[in-house]
Amino acid sequence: MKFVDEAFIDIAAGDGGNGCVSFRHEKYKEFGGPNGGDGGRGGHVFAVADPNLNTLVDYRFSRRHEARRGEHGMGSDMFGAAGDDIVLKMPVGTVITDAETGEVLYELLKPGEMITIAKGGDGGFGNMRFKSAINRAPRQKTMGWPGEKKELKLELKVLADVGLLGMPNAGKSTLISAISNARPRIADYPFTTLHPNLGVVRVGPEQSFVVADLPGLIEGASEGAGLGHQFLRHLQRTRLLFHVVDLAPFDGADPVAQAKAIVGELKKYDPVLYEKPRWLVLNKLDMIDAEEREARVKDFVKRFKFKGPVFQISALTHEGCQELVKAAYQHIKAQQVAEQPPVYVDPRFSGEAAE
């Protein structure tokens, strides 16, 4: 299935049904009084986060979504039926924005979460609503209210704990296949990965986290070079970034220059993303002689001037991957604990109050 992470849709909730003007007509009851019912409510438009979906491809080819209008009121005190609602299933992590203003309206962050993105119009009043002591035969009614209509932009940001960042052919796909259950396409040419891949990393019993592999960046991505910045949005919800660097480029390029180019593109795209915790993962140690590894790593770190954690791995042989995974899990767990709201303790039942 083609990966689509952006789509534009038009939605329209149903209009409310009109009220009815009617009077009771029965034999020997000349003045039966008003009995016109109200119109029915128009159908709402809901969006629900479906964990079984991972792309917005359905909305690329189906743009218009309309709910049914409410039925009109009828005589004999009969109210119109409400219009049928429609439910739009979207992947978890979908951001819904106003296509005209760019304002973020909703975010679907939890599986099964349901929100109302367009409300149906209320039904109009029938003439029985206007009956009073001085108006015994009202002929007034009101029309149904129109339903909401919106032009929306859907943008998918995958929910992952760790994001892989690096140049094409840095070994990101090999790394995600080595540490998780993901099986992306792997080949010996650049830009093998054309869309994000997600994998679950199992650290131990009931210990896991999600890692995302993105298409490689190159210098000039902000100007559209390579695949550009179109997939960097998927890193915005991650807790940690792995900057994967190829220490033995097949074309003889300078790894330090390549790493600095990636950092520069990241900063241009989003300063907040640039400030996220970022670890340096030096890959393809199996391509370097054992005697040269230590010197090559020290030279890289010194010239790159990186002050964060540095990990030396070989994704192909799995060397160093286990240490990287365990350290990442501990970092993510610590962040989750720090983000939990403090537990309120009523002072009347605390130990201090008892003393």
| End-to-end C-alpha distance for the chain, whole angstroms | 65
Beta strands, E only, the chain: 6-12, 45-50, 64-66, 86-91, 94-98, 104-107, 114-118, 149-156, 162-166, 197-204, 207-213, 240-246, 278-283, 310-312
pLDDT at residue 87, as a whole number: 94
Class of domain 6-156: mainly beta
Of 11-15, 238-242, 324-328, 334-338, least confident by mean pLDDT is: 334-338
Q: Is the pLDDT of residue 189 over 50?
A: no
> Which CATH number, 3.40.50.300, 1.10.10.10, 3.30.365.10, 3.40.50.720, labels domain 162-339?
3.40.50.300
Question: What are the residue ranges of CATH 2.70.210.12 in the chain?
Answer: 6-156
Task: List every span in the chain annotated with CATH 3.40.50.300.
Answer: 162-339
Residue 182: the pLDDT is 65
pLDDT greater than 70 at residue 353: no
pLDDT at residue number 88 = 94
Q: Which percentage of the chain shows pLDDT scores above 70?
A: 85
**What 3 state SS string does 35-66 have?**
CCCCCCCCCCEEEEEECCCCCCHHHHHCCEEE
pLDDT band at 48 (very low <50, low <70, confident <90, very high): very high
d(CA 280, CA 294): 15
DSSP state letter for 20: -
Is residue 206 over pLDDT 80? Answer: no
- Output b/e per residue, 21-41; b: 16+ Cβ within 10 A: bbbeeeeeeeeeebbbbbbbb
Nearest to 166 by CA among 200, 190, 202, 199: 190
Give the burial string for 155-192 (b: 16+ CB within 10 Å, else e).
bbbbbbbbbbbbbbbbbbbbbbbbbbebebeeeeebeb
Q: pTM for the complete prediction?
A: 0.68
Closest CA relative to residue 22, chosen from 122, 134, 131, 123: 131
**For the ranges 1-5, 186-190, 244-248, which has the lowest average pLDDT?**
186-190
Choose the weakest-confidence range: 158-167, 254-263, 344-353: 344-353
Q: How does residue 194 score in pLDDT terms, banded at 50, 70 and 90? A: low
State the average pLDDT over residues 124-149: 91
pLDDT band (50, 70, 90) for residue 93:
confident
Give the chain's mean pLDDT: 82
Which has the minimum average pLDDT: 41-50, 207-216, 242-251?
207-216
Q: What is the mean pLDDT of residues 274-285?
A: 88
- In this predicted structure, which of 114-123, 140-149, 216-225, 310-319 has the lowest mean pLDDT? 216-225
Q: Sorting pLDDT into bands at 50, 70 and 90, what band is 46?
A: very high
- The answer, yes or no, to whether residue 54 has pLDDT greater than 50, is yes
Identity of the residue numbered 215: P
Q: What is the mean pLDDT of residues 235-245?
A: 84
- pLDDT tens digit sequence for 304-340: 888 888 898 888 888 889 999 999 889 888 877 776 7
DSSP 61-107: H--EEEPPPPPPPBTTTBPPPPPPPEEEEEETTEEEEETTT--EEEE
Question: For residue 355, is pLDDT > 50?
Answer: no
Question: Residue 152 pLDDT more than 90?
Answer: yes
